[in-house]
Structure formats: C-alpha cells, structure tokens
C-alpha cells in the first residue's frame, strides 16, 4: 500500500477521478495505492466532476453506475466522444444486476469494468493493468507498433542518468516522399513496415546486450546499441535495405533504377530508388547530459548522411 | 478463395492444412538459428533445400500481418524481415511426418534438383535474382505433396494409373482427380499469398506458353523440370519422357549451346545437392 513511485509500475505519479456515491468504494480505492503513486479525487455526483474533467483531465476515470444525477454510461460516452480525451482510460463499477443483460460495448466505450462485491487485490491489479495498457497504446506507433517518442526519450534519459555508454542511431529514408507520391500511401506504409521489421530484426540479433528500437514517426526510426556493435549493425541494415527495397517498385521502375514523380512545385522530376541514411551519436565518458543533446547532434549528422544519395551512415567521432 | 478442392471421381476433398517438413533440414536450421554467429545467408541456404519449410516461410512473410503482402519472394529476404524468433516458431510448429518422408523421398530430390537447375538457367538467361527462380523450381510440384499427404488412397490410384496406362503422373492426376498438381499449386499459392511471379510459375510450369504475366519464370521452371528429369535425378512420380515446349527455349533466347552449358553446370551441382539428401 505504501509503495514508492520508483517501485511502482508508473514513470510518474498518476491521478484518478472517482465518481461514486459509495463511500466504501472511495475508501477502498484510496487505500490501495499510496498517494505518491496514484491519487484519487472523489466526486459523489457526476455533474460536479465534468468541468474538472475537461479542464484538468486525470490519467484514469473510475465511474460508478450507482451515480444518481447522471449515468455512468453517459459520462463515459461524453469523454470518449472527444478526441482530446479519447485516450483517457475509463473503468465502470457495476452491480451484478446491471450486467444481467449484455452491454453493447461498441456504444459504451469504456476500457474495463468492475463488479460488486469488490475484491481489493483484483481491483488493484485490474486498474494497474488498465493504466499500463493505456500507456503502451498511447505511445506505440499505430503503424509499426514500435515504441514512440515518450518511450524513446525515457530510454535515452535513463541511459544518460545511469551513466551507461551507448550509441544511438537515427534512421531515415531518402526519397520516401517521392515513392509515396507516386505509388500512394498504402504502398508507402508497406515500405515503413518493411523498414521497421528490418531494423528490429537486425538489432535483436545482437543478443545479451542493451538494445532498443523506436519509431519517431513517418520514415524516422531510432535504435540503441552498445558503441562497439553499432557500426556493424549500420552496415547490415544498409546491405539488407538496399537488397530488399527494389522489390517494392514496379518492374519497369526497378529496371530503370529510378521513378518519375511530381515535386511540391508541380515539376516532373526523376528520383533515385529509396536509400537509408543513418546518423549515429556515441555517448562515451558521460559527455552527454540530456537527451536534447542527442537529438541535436543527430540532426547535424543526418544532414551529412543525406548528402550521399546512396544508403550511408555517419558516426559522430567527437570526443568529450 | 475456396478453402478446398473437390476431386471429380470420388468427390474427396483436399484441404489447406499444415504441411509437414523433413527432419534433417529441421535439425540443421535449428542448430544454425541457435548459433549467434550464423549468417542469414547460411540459414536461408538450408531452408531453401526444403520445399515445405520454404513455402511456410514465404507464406508467413507475405501474410497481411507484416503489412507487405505478395512482395517477398526470396528466402533470405524473408528471414531478414521475419527475424529468427518467428522462423524458430515456424520450425517448432512444423510437424514431422515420417510417413511423408518415405512417400515423397524421390519427389524431394526431384524438387531440389529442379531448384538447382532453375538457378543455373535463370543466371544463364541473364535474369536478376536467380534465387527467386530457384524457389519457384523448388515449389513446382508442391501440389503432389498435398495429394500424397491428404488423400493417400487417391495418391495410390494415381501411381497405379501411371503404371497401368504408362502415362505421366500429370496425366494420371487428371484421370483420377479431374485436375493436375498445377491447379493445386495455383490454389495453394493463392491461399498462402505467395508473390504473383512464383504463383504463376508454379501453376504454369507444364504450359509456360499460357503464362500471362511472368512467362520467363514459368519457362525457366518448365525447362528446369525437363532437364532434371532428363538427368533422372530424384523421381517426380513417373519415368516418362517429358515434353519440352519449344516456346520456352525461344522465350529464354536459348540455343543448343546454352543448353549444353546449363547441363554441364547441372552435373557438377547435382553432385553437391545429392549430399544434402542423405
């Protein structure tokens, strides 16, 4: 019950709104977590909570179906119909009689439900699970399902804080846009999926080392490996990418080795086949203090890597 | 796509089920996958010797789950994109039928020989990615495996018909089933979402002149099948002389001297291949 945030499942303190006239339920939920880990604000009427909800959305909403002024379903739907709050996990508390008839979960878009009588340890873990699931779903890239920016930043900062040596590679695709423009976004997505699989499998084949792959968005990926492994990985990724990518072009374009597409100004232009550029930042001797430095160094290097129209990598050689 | 094919004589049905693989390949791949220094080339090479495992790997990487259906036709690319975990999973889930090893022994050697021949022919013809032609060659008789495993009685009738009427296995299939393995191939390849070039070569290797979109690959497999039978390497179900379509040689721009060179290379490489089948 008095677990510290550090030992909990969460990266930061979580806040929850509990909407219930049931004081026993409120007491139980408030006891299950220390207020440092998950703190509940309790409202005995639904109406009172709504303004707070929209002004300062919590990380979790628990709604009791016993509310007298407004139904739990209505509150859930109010929250889920707004794209800004859609990701907020909602759990409803019900009595057995409420669920005798099946609910239409397509209409009541909640994330989980709890049935009376409550078993405290089950309630604790169902809510922990709901919060963890929401965090994963929120950060993962919807296309590749790889961890997104929040996870990437956390991972980099953790390595820096622990004083670990690491190499971080930024990967992006050259001429992806012209491919997308010519063949359409569905085939563009195929390229992103292929690239994600290729990077993940190459990085995972280094067993027993600290590694990580994330998807910044669009055609930008990152991976982390120990400094002594990174150059080999870059070479392998480039070789595999250059080998595979021609198969995603129509036979004529592939044979010609370029595509004709229209640029932003409406001019018809010839673009080479896609290539992959890798910019690697190496953190040895603890010279980097903050993740922001990593990305700014990487952006400088990226320009250099992109000067070469073929696939290439640039490794930051600066010493502390 | 229909899940089943109904045979015409006894109305029996072929179903899409998991196909078995061969144990020695399984062992080799397992050892390589567990070795952190093994390259994907080495693993791809071993997997390529097994038609069932190759088909499974290609089926998996071309499934909609990975998001690029019908794009990948080389085993090595498939390994890079699937990763060792998935490949290991495919191997574990692939059951081994001892009966099948017995029933299909000659056919496996025939398929392996045909794959080797297709690789040589494709390189001679100056085509890119000869490994893809080898995959098509490896898979060209897969339909026969399906019949043998799923309809053993009808498979026996086909073999009896080959003997009694002194006809090819292909003709006997048509007599007994009402269709040949070319049609089973088309049905399987579509069901598995294999790339269109492999699919067409698998279904048109007996009639490459009818190939619509990938005639060169269909012609390569047709010629590979013919030559490996000529060498009497393995057994594809009969000992008849195959018919070589002249259109295939014209399509590949092959002269007799090209055939000679291909056959010279084949006699060298088939020796190596026969080591694998022990």
Distances (CA, A) of A50 to A26, A27, A61, A70: 18, 21, 11, 11
Same domain, A282 and A202: yes
For residue A250, what is the nearest residue in chain B, using CA coordinates?
Answer: B71
Which H/E stretch holds residue A314? strand A312-315
Q: Quick check: is A8 in a domain?
A: no
Residue A34: count of CB within 10 angstroms of its CB: 15
Nearest Cβ partner for B68 among A143, A194, A204: A194
Same domain, A247 and A278: yes
Phi/psi for A104 (5° steps) reads: -90, 100
| Segments of chain B with pLDDT less than 50 | 1, 95-100, 278
Same domain, A120 and A172: no
Q: Using an 8 Å Cβ cutoff, are B81 and A244 in contact?
A: yes
Domain-ending residue, one of A109, A139, A169: A139
Query: What pTM value is reported for the model?
Result: 0.73
The ipTM of this complex is: 0.75
Q: What is the pLDDT of residue A298?
A: 84
Interface test with B, best of A244, A255, A256 (most B CBs within 10 A): A244
Same domain, A118 and A164: no
Cβ-defined contact of B72 to A189 (cutoff 8 Å): no
**B64 in A contact zone (CB under 8 Å):** no
**B36 in A contact zone (CB under 8 Å):** yes
Same domain, A159 and A132: no
Nearest Cβ partner for B81 among A189, A194, A204: A194
Nearest Cβ partner for A247 among B67, B72, B85: B72
Nearest Cβ partner for A244 among B67, B77, B82: B77
Q: Using an 8 Å Cβ cutoff, are A104 and A59 in contact?
A: no
Domain-ending residue, one of A77, A112, A139: A139
**B197 in A contact zone (CB under 8 Å):** no
Cβ-defined contact of B77 to A247 (cutoff 8 Å): yes
Nearest Cβ partner for B84 among A190, A194, A205: A205
Q: Which residues does chain B have within 8 Å of residue A189's beta carbon, measured at their own beta carbons?
A: 67
Q: What is the pLDDT of residue B99?
A: 43
Q: Quick check: is A191 in a domain?
A: yes
Q: Quick check: is A144 in a domain?
A: no
Q: Under 8 Å CB-to-CB from A267, ≥6 apart: which residues?
A: none
Q: What is the pLDDT of residue A243?
A: 94
Q: Which of B:73-132 have CB within 8 Å of A?
A: 73, 77, 80-85
Q: What is the pLDDT of residue B103?
A: 60
Query: What CATH number is attached to the domain comprising A306?
Result: 3.30.70.270
Distances (CA, A) of B105 to B237, B257, B266: 11, 33, 20
Q: What is the pLDDT of residue B93?
A: 59
End-to-end, the C-alpha distance of chain B in Å comes to: 38
Residue A99: domain span: 14-139
Q: Quick check: is A4 in a domain?
A: no
Q: Which residues does chain A have within 8 Å of residue B36's beta carbon, measured at their own beta carbons?
A: 205, 207
Q: Which residues does chain B have within 8 Å of residue A240's beta carbon, measured at their own beta carbons?
A: 77, 80
Nearest chain B CA: its distance from A216 CA (Å) = 19
Q: Quick check: is A3 in a domain?
A: no
As a whole number, mean pLDDT of residues A276-292 equals: 89
Interface test with B, best of A190, A197, A200, A204 (most B CBs within 10 A): A197
Q: B42: helix, coil or strand? A: helix
Query: What CATH number is attached to the domain comprising A86?
Result: 3.40.50.2300
Q: What is the pLDDT of residue B10?
A: 67
The Cα–Cα gap between A242 and A235 comes to 11
Same domain, A130 and A187: no
Same domain, A18 and A118: yes
Q: In what order do the strands lie in the sheet with A212-217?
A: A212-217, A220-225, A166-174, A275-283, A312-315
Q: Quick check: is A29 in a domain?
A: yes
Same domain, A252 and A201: yes
In sequence order, what DSSP letters do the residues of B241-270 get, joined into one string?
PPPPPHHHHHHTT--HHHHHHHHHHHHHHH
Nearest chain A CA: its distance from B85 CA (Å) = 9
For residue B69, what is the nearest residue in chain A, using CA coordinates?
Answer: A190
Cβ-defined contact of B71 to A201 (cutoff 8 Å): no
Q: Quick check: is A267 in a domain?
A: yes
Summarize pLDDT for A203-225 with one digit per residue, the tens: 988 888 989 999 999 999 999 99
> Which candidate, B110, B109, B106, B63, places its Cα nearest to that of B82?
B63
Cβ-defined contact of A247 to B73 (cutoff 8 Å): yes
Cβ-defined contact of A202 to B66 (cutoff 8 Å): no
Nearest Cβ partner for A240 among B66, B80, B84: B80
The Cα–Cα gap between A144 and B96 comes to 34
User: Which of the pair, B276 or A58, is modelled with greater confidence?
Assistant: A58
- What share of chain A in percent tops pLDDT 90? 61
Same domain, A69 and A106: yes
Summarize pLDDT for A166-211 with one digit per residue, the tens: 999 999 999 999 999 999 999 999 999 999 999 999 998 888 898 9
Phi/psi for A39 (5° steps) reads: -110, 130
Domain-ending residue, one of A72, A106, A139: A139
Nearest Cβ partner for B80 among A198, A207, A248: A198
Nearest chain B CA: its distance from A292 CA (Å) = 32
Same domain, A173 and A260: yes
Sorting pLDDT into bands at 50, 70 and 90, what band is A244? very high
Q: What is the pLDDT of residue A320?
A: 46
Q: Based on the structure, what is the number of domains in chain A?
A: 2
Q: Which residues does chain A have within 8 Å of residue B82's beta carbon, measured at their own beta carbons?
A: 197, 201
Bond into A117 cis (ω within 30): yes
- What share of chain A in percent tops pLDDT 70? 98
Q: Which residues does chain A have within 8 Å of residue B67's beta carbon, measured at their own beta carbons?
A: 143, 189-190, 193-194
The Cα–Cα gap between B21 and B34 comes to 19
Q: What is the pLDDT of residue B96?
A: 39
Q: Quick check: is A202 in a domain?
A: yes
Interface test with A, best of B64, B81, B84, B88 (most A CBs within 10 A): B81
Q: What is the pLDDT of residue A317?
A: 72
Of A256-260, A269-273, B89-93, where does mean pLDDT reach its minimum? B89-93
Q: What is the pLDDT of residue B94?
A: 62
Q: Which residues does chain B have within 8 Å of residue A205's beta carbon, measured at their own beta carbons?
A: 36, 83-84
Q: Under 8 Å CB-to-CB from A255, ≥6 apart: which residues?
A: none
User: Which of the pair, A100 or B273, is modelled with greater confidence?
Assistant: A100
Three-state SS string across A195-228, please? Answer: HHHHHHHHHHCCCCCCCEEEEEECCEEEEEECHH
Same domain, A155 and A286: yes
Same domain, A169 and A276: yes
Of A15-24, A36-45, A242-251, A285-294, where does mean pLDDT reach its minimum? A285-294
Q: E strands within A156-311?
A: 166-174, 212-217, 220-225, 258-262, 268-272, 275-283
Cβ-defined contact of B68 to A198 (cutoff 8 Å): no
């Amino acid at each position: 019950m008095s677990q510290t945030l550090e030992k909990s499942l969460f990266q930061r303190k979580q806040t929850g709104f509990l909407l219930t006239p049931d004081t026993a339920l409120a007491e139980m939920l408030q006891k299950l977590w220390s207020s440092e880990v998950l703190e509940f604000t309790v409202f005995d009427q639904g109406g009172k909570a709504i303004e707070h909800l929209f002004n300062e959305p919590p990380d979790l909403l628990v709604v009791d179906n016993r509310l007298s002024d407004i139904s739990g379903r209505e509150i859930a739907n109010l929250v889920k119909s707004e794209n800004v709050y859609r990701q907020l996990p909602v759990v409803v508390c019900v009595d057995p009689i409420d669920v005798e008839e099946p609910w239409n979960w397509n209409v009541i878009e909640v994330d989980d439900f709890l049935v009376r009588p409550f078993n405290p340890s089950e309630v604790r873990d169902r809510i922990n699970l709901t919060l963890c699931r929401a965090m994963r779903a929120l950060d993962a890239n919807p296309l590749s399902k790889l961890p997104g920016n929040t996870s990437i930043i956390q991972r980099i900062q953790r390595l820096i804080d622990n004083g670990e040596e690491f190499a971080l590679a930024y990967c992006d695709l050259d001429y992806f846009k012209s491919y997308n423009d010519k063949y359409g976004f569905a085939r563009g997505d195929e390229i992103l999926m292929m690239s994600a699989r290729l990077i993940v499998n190459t990085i995972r084949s280094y067993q027993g080392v600290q590694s990580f792959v994330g998807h910044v968005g669009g055609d930008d990926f990152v991976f982390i490996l120990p400094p002594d492994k990174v150059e080999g990985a870059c070479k392998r990724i480039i070789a595999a990418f250059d080998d595979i990518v021609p198969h995603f072009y129509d036979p004529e374009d592939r044979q010609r080795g370029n595509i004709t597409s229209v640029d932003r100004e409406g001019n018809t232009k010839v673009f080479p086949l896609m290539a992959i550029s890798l910019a690697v930042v190496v953190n040895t001797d603890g010279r980097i203090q903050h993740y922001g430095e990593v990305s700014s160094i990487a952006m400088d290097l990226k320009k250099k890597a992109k000067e070469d129209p073929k696939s290439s990598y640039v490794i930051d050689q600066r010493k502390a | 796509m229909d899940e089943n094919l109904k045979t015409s004589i006894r109305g029996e049905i072929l179903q899409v089920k998991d196909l078995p693989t061969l144990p020695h390949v399984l062992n080799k791949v397992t050892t390589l996958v567990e070795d952190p220094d093994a390259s994907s080339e080495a693993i791809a090479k071993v997997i390529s010797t097994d038609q069932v495992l190759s088909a499974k790997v290609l089926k998996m990487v071309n499934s909609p789950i990975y998001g690029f259906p019908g794009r990948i036709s080389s085993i090595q690319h498939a390994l890079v994109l699937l990763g060792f975990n998935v490949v290991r999973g495919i191997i574990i889930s692939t059951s081994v039928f001892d009966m099948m090893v017995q029933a299909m022994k000659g056919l496996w050697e025939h398929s392996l020989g045909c794959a080797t021949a297709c690789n040589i022919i494709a390189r001679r013809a100056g085509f890119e990615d000869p490994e893809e032609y080898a995959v098509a060659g490896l898979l060209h008789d897969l339909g026969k495996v399906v019949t043998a495993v799923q309809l053993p009685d009808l498979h026996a009738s086909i073999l009896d018909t080959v003997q009694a009427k002194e006809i090819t296995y292909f003709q006997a299939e048509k007599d007994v089933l009402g269709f040949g393995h070319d049609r089973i191939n088309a049905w399987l390849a579509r069901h598995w979402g294999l790339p269109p070039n492999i699919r067409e070569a698998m279904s048109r290797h007996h009639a490459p002149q009818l190939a619509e979109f990938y005639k060169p690959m269909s012609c390569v497999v047709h010629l590979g099948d013919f030559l490996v039978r000529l060498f009497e390497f393995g057994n594809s179900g009969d000992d008849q002389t195959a018919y070589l379509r002249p259109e295939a040689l014209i399509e590949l721009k092959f002269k007799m001297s090209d055939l000679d060179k291909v056959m010279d290379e084949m006699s060298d490489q088939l020796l190596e291949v026969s080591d694998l089948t022990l």
